[in-house]
Amino acid sequence: MAKYFRRVRLGMLLGYNTNGFAHHDLLDAVRVLGEIGYQSVAITIDHHALAPDRPWTEQQLLKLRRLLESFQMQSVIETGARYLLDPWHKHQPTLMSADPHARQRRLQFYRHAFHMAQQLGSMCVSIWSGQLLDPVSEQEAMARLIDALAELVEEAKSCGIPIGLEPEPGMFIDTMARYEVLLGQLNTPELRLTLDIGHLICQGETPPEMYIRQWADRLVNVHLEDMRPGQHEHLLFGEGQLQLEPVLAALAEVGYAGGVHVELSAHSAQAPQVAKAVYDLLWPFWTKLGYSLRPHSEDAPTSKAKPNSDL
Protein backbone atom coordinates (compact mmCIF):
# COMPACT_ATOMS: atom_id res chain seq x y z
CA MET A 1 0.00 0.00 0.00
CA ALA A 2 1.97 2.95 -1.26
CA LYS A 3 -0.74 5.51 -0.49
CA TYR A 4 -2.44 6.40 2.76
CA PHE A 5 -5.49 8.41 3.69
CA ARG A 6 -6.77 10.75 6.34
CA ARG A 7 -10.33 11.07 7.50
CA VAL A 8 -12.09 14.30 8.37
CA ARG A 9 -12.90 14.28 12.09
CA LEU A 10 -15.37 16.43 13.94
CA GLY A 11 -15.57 16.79 17.70
CA MET A 12 -14.47 14.60 20.57
CA LEU A 13 -14.49 10.91 19.66
CA LEU A 14 -15.43 8.09 22.02
CA GLY A 15 -12.90 5.29 21.60
CA TYR A 16 -11.51 2.11 23.14
CA ASN A 17 -8.04 0.53 23.34
CA THR A 18 -7.54 -2.91 21.83
CA ASN A 19 -5.32 -3.90 24.78
CA GLY A 20 -8.67 -4.50 26.50
CA PHE A 21 -9.39 -7.20 23.88
CA ALA A 22 -6.28 -9.33 24.48
CA HIS A 23 -8.09 -12.61 23.72
CA HIS A 24 -9.63 -11.40 20.44
CA ASP A 25 -8.34 -11.33 16.91
CA LEU A 26 -7.59 -7.68 16.09
CA LEU A 27 -10.15 -7.48 13.30
CA ASP A 28 -12.81 -9.10 15.49
CA ALA A 29 -12.05 -6.63 18.28
CA VAL A 30 -12.41 -3.62 15.97
CA ARG A 31 -15.60 -5.07 14.49
CA VAL A 32 -17.12 -5.49 17.96
CA LEU A 33 -16.20 -1.91 18.88
CA GLY A 34 -17.63 -0.60 15.62
CA GLU A 35 -20.88 -2.51 16.12
CA ILE A 36 -21.20 -1.13 19.63
CA GLY A 37 -20.87 2.38 18.23
CA TYR A 38 -17.35 3.51 19.13
CA GLN A 39 -16.00 6.23 16.87
CA SER A 40 -12.28 5.61 17.36
CA VAL A 41 -9.93 2.80 18.29
CA ALA A 42 -6.51 2.87 19.94
CA ILE A 43 -4.68 0.00 18.25
CA THR A 44 -2.01 -1.51 20.47
CA ILE A 45 0.58 -3.25 18.30
CA ASP A 46 1.20 -6.69 19.77
CA HIS A 47 2.03 -10.27 18.78
CA HIS A 48 -1.36 -10.70 17.08
CA ALA A 49 -1.89 -7.09 16.02
CA LEU A 50 0.17 -5.41 13.26
CA ALA A 51 3.30 -7.02 14.68
CA PRO A 52 6.65 -6.12 13.10
CA ASP A 53 8.50 -8.66 10.97
CA ARG A 54 5.49 -10.94 10.43
CA PRO A 55 4.62 -12.12 6.91
CA TRP A 56 0.90 -11.48 7.47
CA THR A 57 1.10 -7.95 8.86
CA GLU A 58 0.62 -6.04 5.59
CA GLN A 59 -2.43 -8.14 4.73
CA GLN A 60 -3.86 -7.59 8.20
CA LEU A 61 -3.19 -3.87 7.80
CA LEU A 62 -5.12 -3.76 4.54
CA LYS A 63 -8.11 -5.56 6.08
CA LEU A 64 -8.00 -3.29 9.10
CA ARG A 65 -7.96 -0.18 6.94
CA ARG A 66 -11.06 -1.38 5.08
CA LEU A 67 -12.78 -2.25 8.33
CA LEU A 68 -12.12 1.18 9.83
CA GLU A 69 -13.45 2.77 6.66
CA SER A 70 -16.61 0.67 6.80
CA PHE A 71 -17.37 1.88 10.35
CA GLN A 72 -16.06 5.41 9.67
CA MET A 73 -13.77 4.99 12.68
CA GLN A 74 -10.67 6.99 13.49
CA SER A 75 -7.55 5.43 15.00
CA VAL A 76 -4.37 6.02 16.93
CA ILE A 77 -1.43 3.64 17.17
CA GLU A 78 -0.36 2.56 20.66
CA THR A 79 3.05 1.01 21.38
CA GLY A 80 2.84 -0.13 25.00
CA ALA A 81 2.60 -3.90 24.54
CA ARG A 82 4.23 -5.64 27.49
CA TYR A 83 6.37 -8.42 25.99
CA LEU A 84 6.47 -7.73 22.27
CA LEU A 85 10.20 -6.97 22.02
CA ASP A 86 11.52 -9.01 24.96
CA PRO A 87 9.80 -12.20 26.19
CA TRP A 88 11.48 -11.97 29.60
CA HIS A 89 11.30 -8.31 30.56
CA LYS A 90 8.13 -6.22 30.52
CA HIS A 91 8.21 -3.16 28.23
CA GLN A 92 11.90 -3.63 27.37
CA PRO A 93 13.92 -2.31 25.65
CA THR A 94 13.01 1.39 25.79
CA LEU A 95 14.37 4.79 24.84
CA MET A 96 15.97 4.86 28.31
CA SER A 97 17.86 1.56 27.98
CA ALA A 98 21.57 1.83 28.76
CA ASP A 99 22.59 -0.16 25.68
CA PRO A 100 22.43 2.03 22.55
CA HIS A 101 21.66 -1.04 20.42
CA ALA A 102 18.65 -1.76 22.65
CA ARG A 103 17.46 1.81 22.22
CA GLN A 104 17.75 1.38 18.46
CA ARG A 105 15.56 -1.72 18.65
CA ARG A 106 12.87 0.39 20.31
CA LEU A 107 13.31 3.14 17.71
CA GLN A 108 13.03 0.61 14.90
CA PHE A 109 9.77 -0.61 16.41
CA TYR A 110 8.51 2.98 16.56
CA ARG A 111 9.38 3.42 12.87
CA HIS A 112 7.22 0.38 12.17
CA ALA A 113 4.45 1.98 14.24
CA PHE A 114 4.66 5.16 12.15
CA HIS A 115 4.41 3.09 8.97
CA MET A 116 1.24 1.46 10.31
CA ALA A 117 -0.15 4.85 11.35
CA GLN A 118 0.61 6.41 7.97
CA GLN A 119 -1.19 3.65 6.08
CA LEU A 120 -4.24 3.90 8.36
CA GLY A 121 -4.36 7.70 8.50
CA SER A 122 -4.07 7.51 12.28
CA MET A 123 -4.16 10.63 14.43
CA CYS A 124 -0.88 9.92 16.26
CA VAL A 125 1.61 7.33 17.42
CA SER A 126 1.48 7.11 21.21
CA ILE A 127 4.68 6.27 23.11
CA TRP A 128 6.27 6.56 26.55
CA SER A 129 9.85 7.16 27.69
CA GLY A 130 10.52 3.88 29.46
CA GLN A 131 12.11 3.23 32.85
CA LEU A 132 15.57 4.45 33.77
CA LEU A 133 17.27 1.32 35.14
CA ASP A 134 20.94 2.32 35.28
CA PRO A 135 22.46 4.79 37.79
CA VAL A 136 23.13 7.86 35.65
CA SER A 137 22.57 11.52 36.45
CA GLU A 138 19.36 13.34 35.63
CA GLN A 139 21.19 15.34 32.97
CA GLU A 140 22.63 12.26 31.27
CA ALA A 141 19.30 10.46 31.38
CA MET A 142 17.46 13.42 29.86
CA ALA A 143 20.10 13.77 27.16
CA ARG A 144 19.68 10.07 26.33
CA LEU A 145 15.94 10.50 25.92
CA ILE A 146 16.24 13.69 23.88
CA ASP A 147 18.74 12.10 21.49
CA ALA A 148 16.33 9.21 20.86
CA LEU A 149 13.29 11.44 20.55
CA ALA A 150 15.11 13.72 18.10
CA GLU A 151 15.41 10.74 15.74
CA LEU A 152 11.74 9.96 16.18
CA VAL A 153 10.73 13.57 15.55
CA GLU A 154 12.29 13.29 12.10
CA GLU A 155 10.18 10.18 11.45
CA ALA A 156 7.08 12.07 12.59
CA LYS A 157 7.90 14.96 10.26
CA SER A 158 8.40 12.59 7.34
CA CYS A 159 5.08 10.83 7.94
CA GLY A 160 3.11 13.93 8.88
CA ILE A 161 1.87 12.21 12.04
CA PRO A 162 2.61 13.56 15.53
CA ILE A 163 4.10 11.74 18.51
CA GLY A 164 1.82 11.47 21.52
CA LEU A 165 4.19 11.13 24.48
CA GLU A 166 2.44 9.67 27.51
CA PRO A 167 3.69 10.35 31.04
CA GLU A 168 3.56 6.91 32.65
CA PRO A 169 3.87 6.09 36.37
CA GLY A 170 7.19 4.41 37.11
CA MET A 171 8.89 5.67 33.95
CA PHE A 172 11.42 8.44 33.45
CA ILE A 173 8.73 10.82 32.21
CA ASP A 174 6.09 9.93 34.78
CA THR A 175 4.26 13.19 35.47
CA MET A 176 3.18 16.32 33.67
CA ALA A 177 5.86 18.19 35.58
CA ARG A 178 8.52 15.94 34.01
CA TYR A 179 6.89 16.30 30.60
CA GLU A 180 7.19 20.07 30.96
CA VAL A 181 10.91 19.75 31.74
CA LEU A 182 11.35 17.64 28.61
CA LEU A 183 9.57 20.21 26.45
CA GLY A 184 11.89 22.86 27.81
CA GLN A 185 14.71 21.05 26.03
CA LEU A 186 12.91 19.59 23.01
CA ASN A 187 10.06 21.93 22.12
CA THR A 188 8.96 20.84 18.66
CA PRO A 189 5.40 20.72 17.27
CA GLU A 190 5.76 17.04 16.41
CA LEU A 191 6.17 16.14 20.10
CA ARG A 192 2.66 16.28 21.50
CA LEU A 193 0.82 14.73 24.44
CA THR A 194 -1.09 11.55 25.20
CA LEU A 195 -2.83 12.44 28.44
CA ASP A 196 -3.97 9.54 30.62
CA ILE A 197 -6.60 10.89 33.01
CA GLY A 198 -6.19 8.01 35.45
CA HIS A 199 -2.44 8.60 35.61
CA LEU A 200 -3.06 12.16 36.77
CA ILE A 201 -5.10 10.83 39.68
CA CYS A 202 -2.49 8.15 40.44
CA GLN A 203 0.32 10.73 40.52
CA GLY A 204 -1.63 13.30 42.53
CA GLU A 205 -1.86 15.77 39.64
CA THR A 206 -5.39 16.87 40.29
CA PRO A 207 -7.90 18.04 39.38
CA PRO A 208 -7.40 16.55 35.88
CA GLU A 209 -9.41 19.29 34.21
CA MET A 210 -6.75 21.82 35.25
CA TYR A 211 -4.14 19.91 33.26
CA ILE A 212 -6.50 19.52 30.31
CA ARG A 213 -6.85 23.29 30.10
CA GLN A 214 -3.14 23.90 30.67
CA TRP A 215 -2.03 21.48 27.96
CA ALA A 216 -4.89 21.82 25.49
CA ASP A 217 -2.59 22.94 22.67
CA ARG A 218 -0.48 19.79 22.99
CA LEU A 219 -3.28 17.22 23.35
CA VAL A 220 -3.41 14.65 20.57
CA ASN A 221 -4.69 11.55 22.42
CA VAL A 222 -6.54 10.92 25.68
CA HIS A 223 -6.75 7.73 27.75
CA LEU A 224 -9.69 7.38 30.12
CA GLU A 225 -10.26 5.05 33.06
CA ASP A 226 -10.81 5.30 36.79
CA MET A 227 -7.90 5.17 39.24
CA ARG A 228 -6.97 5.79 42.87
CA PRO A 229 -4.16 8.00 44.19
CA GLY A 230 -0.84 6.15 44.44
CA GLN A 231 -2.16 2.99 42.74
CA HIS A 232 -1.41 2.39 39.07
CA GLU A 233 -4.39 0.14 38.39
CA HIS A 234 -6.82 0.79 35.54
CA LEU A 235 -10.29 0.52 37.07
CA LEU A 236 -13.85 0.49 35.83
CA PHE A 237 -15.63 3.80 36.18
CA GLY A 238 -16.95 4.27 39.69
CA GLU A 239 -14.23 2.19 41.36
CA GLY A 240 -11.76 5.05 41.87
CA GLN A 241 -11.79 8.81 42.32
CA LEU A 242 -12.41 10.00 38.76
CA GLN A 243 -15.14 12.60 38.30
CA LEU A 244 -16.22 12.08 34.70
CA GLU A 245 -18.39 15.12 34.10
CA PRO A 246 -15.81 17.89 34.78
CA VAL A 247 -13.12 16.01 32.83
CA LEU A 248 -15.26 15.56 29.72
CA ALA A 249 -16.61 19.10 30.02
CA ALA A 250 -13.04 20.46 30.12
CA LEU A 251 -12.11 18.50 26.98
CA ALA A 252 -15.16 19.93 25.21
CA GLU A 253 -14.40 23.43 26.52
CA VAL A 254 -10.90 23.49 25.03
CA GLY A 255 -12.18 22.19 21.71
CA TYR A 256 -10.39 18.86 21.86
CA ALA A 257 -11.21 17.00 18.64
CA GLY A 258 -9.39 13.70 19.05
CA GLY A 259 -10.04 10.31 20.53
CA VAL A 260 -10.91 9.71 24.17
CA HIS A 261 -9.87 6.06 24.43
CA VAL A 262 -11.03 3.93 27.33
CA GLU A 263 -8.10 1.81 28.53
CA LEU A 264 -9.07 -1.29 30.52
CA SER A 265 -6.30 -3.75 29.72
CA ALA A 266 -7.09 -5.96 32.74
CA HIS A 267 -10.68 -6.61 31.61
CA SER A 268 -10.13 -8.70 28.49
CA ALA A 269 -11.91 -11.76 29.93
CA GLN A 270 -15.22 -9.94 29.45
CA ALA A 271 -14.11 -7.51 26.75
CA PRO A 272 -17.30 -7.19 24.65
CA GLN A 273 -19.54 -6.87 27.69
CA VAL A 274 -17.25 -4.36 29.40
CA ALA A 275 -16.88 -2.30 26.21
CA LYS A 276 -20.65 -2.17 25.73
CA ALA A 277 -21.33 -1.33 29.38
CA VAL A 278 -18.76 1.48 29.22
CA TYR A 279 -20.30 2.84 26.02
CA ASP A 280 -23.75 2.82 27.62
CA LEU A 281 -22.32 4.69 30.61
CA LEU A 282 -20.45 7.32 28.59
CA TRP A 283 -22.70 8.14 25.66
CA PRO A 284 -25.08 10.32 27.74
CA PHE A 285 -22.10 12.54 28.62
CA TRP A 286 -21.31 12.92 24.90
CA THR A 287 -24.89 13.77 23.98
CA LYS A 288 -25.13 16.25 26.87
CA LEU A 289 -22.07 18.03 25.48
CA GLY A 290 -23.69 18.21 22.06
CA TYR A 291 -21.83 15.41 20.29
CA SER A 292 -23.61 12.76 18.27
CA LEU A 293 -22.77 9.06 18.53
CA ARG A 294 -23.87 6.23 16.31
CA PRO A 295 -26.52 3.96 17.86
CA HIS A 296 -25.70 0.34 18.62
CA SER A 297 -25.68 -2.02 15.67
CA GLU A 298 -28.44 -4.58 15.75
CA ASP A 299 -25.61 -7.13 15.73
CA ALA A 300 -24.36 -5.93 19.12
CA PRO A 301 -25.97 -8.29 21.64
CA THR A 302 -27.31 -7.18 24.96
CA SER A 303 -25.45 -9.00 27.72
CA LYS A 304 -26.24 -9.42 31.38
CA ALA A 305 -22.71 -10.56 32.23
CA LYS A 306 -21.07 -8.71 35.08
CA PRO A 307 -18.23 -6.52 33.70
CA ASN A 308 -15.82 -7.47 36.49
CA SER A 309 -16.24 -11.24 36.07
CA ASP A 310 -13.03 -13.23 35.52
CA LEU A 311 -14.84 -16.32 34.25
pLDDT, tens only, 164-206: 999 999 999 999 999 999 999 999 999 999 999 999 999 999 9
Taking only the tens place, the pLDDT of each residue in 21-80 is: 999 999 999 999 999 999 999 999 999 999 999 999 999 999 999 999 999 999 999 999
Predicted model pTM:
0.92
DSSP the chain: ----------S-EEEEEGGG-TTS-HHHHHHHHHHHT-SEEEEE-BTTBS-TT-TTHHHHHHHHHHHHHHHT-EEEEE---SSSS-SSSTT-S-TT-SSHHHHHHHHHHHHHHHHHHHHHT-S-EEE------S---HHHHHHHHHHHHHHHHHHHHHHT--EEE---TTSSS-SHHHHHHHHHH---TTEEEEEEHHHHHHTT---HHHHHHHTTTTEEEEEE-EEETTEEEEE-TTSSS--HHHHHHHHHHTT--SEEEE--TT-GGGHHHHHHHHHHHHHHHHHHTT---PPPPTTS------TT---
Domains and CATH numbers, the chain: 13-288 (3.20.20.150)
